[in-house]
């Protein structure tokens, strides 16, 4: 073969690599679009709703889908026992805790949804949650605004000389009072391994794209995307807190006069506290942060409706209120502890335990 023939092959290979380079460079350009229409220093109690992902056909991704877990490649990538949606939600919540928001704990949000009519046999009815308006959700959860999140893209592509990881995220913060989207963002970014970032040696050019499929790369990329997406919400708490008295609970009570709830009954909790606060009650460590609503300045009421599987024994009812600066006050509603048992269970055990508790005191 002539020198000219090898020269021609070399030129074609160079053009092919150039095309690959240009394609990858275009695909790796980050896109961040954000809209903010409120003062992030405004005190808001925010509930982060379960993040979600859609299948190519537009259906909600569920635990039964094969791509639910962050995928892995044997010998290259570690398996991550979380869905991309759940993983990214955790990253977002970590960032939101650095803002001035009063961020509700995930377990409190999920518990409120389960006990507020958004429940299926598999857990939270996410379709129903997404169809509900912010006002309805906040009445159930006890918040001022809800934070939605959707994974718009989560993929890794392999091009022989290049591998590209891409993460897309869409978020919205919707205020309950007027249903306005006061913050929204659509982000997408990529990270590559191989021709554009790897070493120049032939062996490295082959191996580096394969290493680029490591799940650690796409999860690190997700962290970057989240930080850039949430950045407009970064703020510091106002010094006005020093000029305002912290919240106080003056009195509280509940209606379980016998100390026992029927499984088809309910528990009503009342509190008189500082007006304009966010209030909630818990039953021991089992039922956490059931929202209470201010029906009149300083007068708060909350209701607990047991669902199938709820059980607890001799648990205190605790009230908590939180002001717009994140300061809290707590109080136990009377000394009478409450129990929830299956129907037909004798109350003798409760009486004996109650006598025992009195004896200890």
Report how far residue 294's alpha carbon sits from residue 303's, in angstroms, rounded to the nearest whole number.
13
- pLDDT-derived band at 193 (thresholds 50, 70, 90) equals low
Say yes or no to pLDDT of 36 above 70.
Answer: yes
285 or 197, higher pLDDT: 285
pLDDT digits (tens, 9 = 90+) for 109-127: 888 898 888 988 878 999 9
Average pLDDT over residues 208-221: 62
- pLDDT-derived band at 194 (thresholds 50, 70, 90) equals low
| Residue 2 pLDDT | 54
Supply the mean pLDDT for the chain: 76
- pLDDT-derived band at 162 (thresholds 50, 70, 90) equals low
Least confident of 205-219, 324-338, 347-361: 347-361
| Residue 68 pLDDT | 44
| Residue 71 pLDDT | 52
| Residue 354 pLDDT | 39
pLDDT digits (tens, 9 = 90+) for 88-99: 999 999 999 888
212 or 30, higher pLDDT: 30
Domains, the chain, in order of start with CATH, read: 30-233 (3.40.50.10610), 240-360 (2.60.40.10)
Percent pLDDT > 70 in the chain is 70
pLDDT digits (tens, 9 = 90+) for 243-267: 677 888 999 999 988 888 876 778 9
Say yes or no to pLDDT of 208 above 70.
Answer: no
26 or 193, higher pLDDT: 193
DSSP helix/strand/coil, 260: strand
Query: Dmax over Cα atoms in the chain, in whole Å?
Result: 104
Say yes or no to pLDDT of 15 above 70.
Answer: no
Q: Where are the alpha helices (DSSP H) in the chain?
A: 3-27, 84-96, 106-115, 126-131, 134-141, 202-211, 215-230, 348-360
DSSP helix/strand/coil, 96: helix
- State the DSSP string of 132-179: S-HHHHHHHHT-SEEEEEEEEEEEEEE-SSEEEEEEEEEEEEEETTT-
194 or 221, higher pLDDT: 221
Say yes or no to pLDDT of 351 above 50.
Answer: no
| Residue 120 pLDDT | 84
Say yes or no to pLDDT of 151 above 80.
Answer: yes
Top-confidence range, 138-142, 184-188, 334-338: 184-188
Residues 43, 102 contacting (CB under 8 angstroms): yes
Residues 171, 148 contacting (CB under 8 angstroms): yes
- pLDDT-derived band at 4 (thresholds 50, 70, 90) equals low
Please give the DSSP secondary-structure letter assigned to residue 292: E
Half-sphere exposure (Cβ direction) of 213: Cα atoms closer than 13 Å: 18
What lies within 8 Å, CB to CB, of 199 at 6+ separation is: 205, 208
């Amino acid at each position: 073969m002539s020198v000219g023939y090898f020269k021609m092959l070399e030129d074609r290979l160079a053009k092919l690599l150039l095309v690959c380079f240009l394609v990858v460079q275009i695909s790796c350009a980050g896109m961040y679009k954000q809209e903010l229409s409120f003062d992030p220093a405004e005190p808001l109690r925010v509930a982060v709703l379960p993040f979600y992902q859609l299948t190519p056909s537009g259906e909600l991704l569920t635990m039964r889908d094969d791509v639910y877990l962050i995928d892995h490649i044997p010998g290259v990538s570690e398996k991550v026992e979380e869905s991309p949606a759940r993983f990214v939600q955790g990253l977002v919540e970590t960032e939101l805790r650095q803002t001035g928001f009063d961020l509700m704990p995930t377990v409190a949000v999920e518990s409120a949804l389960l006990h507020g009519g958004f429940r299926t046999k598999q857990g939270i009815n996410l379709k129903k949650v997404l169809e509900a308006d912010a006002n309805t959700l906040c009445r159930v959860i006890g918040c001022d605004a809800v934070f939605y999140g959707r994974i718009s893209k989560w993929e890794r592509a392999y091009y022989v000389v290049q591998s590209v990881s891409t993460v897309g995220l869409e978020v919205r913060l919707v205020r309950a009072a007027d249903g306005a989207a006061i913050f929204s963002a659509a982000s997408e970014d990529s990270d590559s391994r191989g021709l554009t970032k790897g070493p120049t040696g032939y062996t490295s050019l082959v191996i580096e794209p394969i290493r680029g499929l490591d799940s650690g790369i796409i999860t690190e990329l997700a962290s970057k995307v989240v930080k850039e997406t949430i950045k407009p919400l970064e703020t510091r708490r106002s010094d006005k807190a020093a000029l305002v008295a912290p919240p106080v609970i003056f009195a509280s009570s509940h209606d379980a006069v016998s100390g026992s709830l029927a499984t088809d009954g309910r528990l009503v909790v009342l509190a008189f506290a500082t007006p304009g606060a966010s209030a909630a009650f818990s039953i021991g460590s089992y039922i956490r942060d059931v929202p209470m609503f201010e029906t009149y300045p300083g007068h708060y009421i909350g209701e607990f409706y047991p669902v199938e599987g709820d059980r607890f024994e001799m648990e205190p009812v605790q009230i908590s209120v939180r002001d717009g600066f994140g300061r809290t006050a707590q109080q136990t509603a009377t000394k009478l502890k409450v129990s929830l048992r299956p129907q037909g269970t004798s109350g003798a055990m409760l009486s004996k335990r109650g006598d025992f508790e009195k004896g200890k005191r």
